[in-house]
């Protein structure tokens, strides 16, 4: 079958494994991949670097509207500070609106696309062929993020990482516009007890079935 317009939407809270699964299935099926969190991180960092408050719509909306490739390639997007700023700009409806068309165009590109984020299955691509909601329990997610940060030389404590993750998830899930939640028709994938290979294999099996290959 033709894979033109085949979209895989992967949502879930922070550090649940969305990024790893998305990259792996994109590679396996030859689909393009868009990490939509990177876009919000780029907007957040742009606002911070302008010396403004990421929660201020008057600063964040123009930043979202003028986002460049250079902003998306900024080397500081994976830091906890960038994550916090991303979550703040992401609560502003004007920011989300400015980024919507780019994400939708990406999702419908010929050859198939995987997008991961918080609202892909609910708002960006409600008609996606496959929707996954990837979760893991709070402790497991905090431990994964803490290990990731430590490997990069970040010395913050496990407790601090867990607190920041919980704070960000609460903000992402409670905002009025496009909150983090599973789409009604999403398949739930809990990665608490799964290693990377097993989680990727489950996701790939769901995609294969929808492609008529399973
Ligand atoms: O996936 P991530 O941790 O890189 O995302 C950073 C923040 O961006 C996240 O806390 C909320 C926001 N975000 C969003 O609101 N919608 C998306 N589709 C992706 C990310």
Q: Is residue 212 part of a domain?
A: no
Residues having CB closer than 6 A to ligand 1 are 14, 36-37, 40-41, 83, 86-87, 90, 117-120, 168, 172
- pLDDT greater than 70 at residue 183: yes
Quickly state the pLDDT bin for 4 (edges 50, 70, 90): low
Assess if residue 104 is contained within a domain: yes
Within a domain: 41: yes
Does any domain span residue 81?
yes
Task: Tell me the CATH number at 117.
Answer: 3.40.50.300
Residue with the smallest CA separation from ligand 1 atom 9 is: 87
Question: pTM of the predicted model, to two decimals?
Answer: 0.96
The string over 50-76, giving b where at least 16 C-beta atoms fall within 10 Å of a residue's C-beta and e elsewhere, is eeeebeeeebbbbbbeebeeebeebee
- Distance from the CA of 129 to the center of ligand 1, in angstroms? 22
Strand order in 130-135's β-sheet?
32-35, 113-117, 7-11, 130-135, 187-190
pLDDT digit string (tens) for 143-178? 999 999 999 999 999 999 999 999 999 999 999 999
Q: Assess if residue 1 is contained within a domain.
A: no
In the chain, the percentage of residues whose pLDDT exceeds 90 is 97
Ligand 1 atom at minimal distance to the Cα of residue 15: 3
Using one digit for the tens of pLDDT, what is the confidence trace for 81-93? 999 999 999 999 9
Q: Would you say residue 2 lies in a domain?
A: no
Domain that holds residue 93: 7-206
Number of domains in the chain: 1
Neighbour count for residue 187 (Cβ, 10 Å)? 16
Could you tell me which residues are beta bridge partners of residue 187? Answer: 132
CA of 100 to the centre of ligand 1 (A): 13
DSSP code string of 98-130: HHHHHHHHHHTSTT-EEEEESSIIIII-TT-SE
Q: With respect to residue 202, please indicate whether it lies within any of the assigned structural domains.
A: yes
pLDDT at 1 over 80: no
């Amino acid at each position: 079958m033709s894979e033109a317009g085949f979209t895989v939407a992967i949502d879930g809270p922070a550090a649940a494994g969305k990024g790893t699964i998305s990259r792996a299935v994109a590679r396996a099926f030859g689909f393009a991949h868009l990490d939509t969190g990177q876009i919000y991180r780029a907007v957040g960092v742009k606002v911070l670097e302008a010396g403004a408050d990421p929660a201020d719509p008057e600063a964040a909306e123009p930043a979202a509207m003028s986002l460049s490739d250079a902003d998306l390639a900024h080397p500081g997007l994976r830091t906890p500070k960038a994550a916090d700023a991303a979550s703040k700009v992401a609560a502003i409806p004007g920011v989300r609106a400015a980024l919507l068309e780019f994400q939708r165009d990406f999702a419908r590109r010929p050859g198939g696309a995987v997008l991961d984020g918080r609202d892909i299955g609910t708002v960006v691509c409600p008609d996606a062929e496959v929707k996954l909601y990837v979760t893991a329990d709070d402790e497991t997610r905090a431990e994964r993020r803490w290990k990731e940060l430590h490997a990069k030389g970040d010395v913050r404590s496990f407790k601090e990482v867990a607190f920041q993750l919980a704070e960000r998830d609460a903000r992402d899930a409670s905002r009025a516009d496009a909150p983090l939640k599973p789409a009604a028709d999403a398949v739930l994938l809990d990665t608490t007890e799964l290693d990377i290979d097993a989680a990727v294999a489950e996701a790939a099996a769901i995609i294969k079935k929808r492609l008529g290959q399973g």
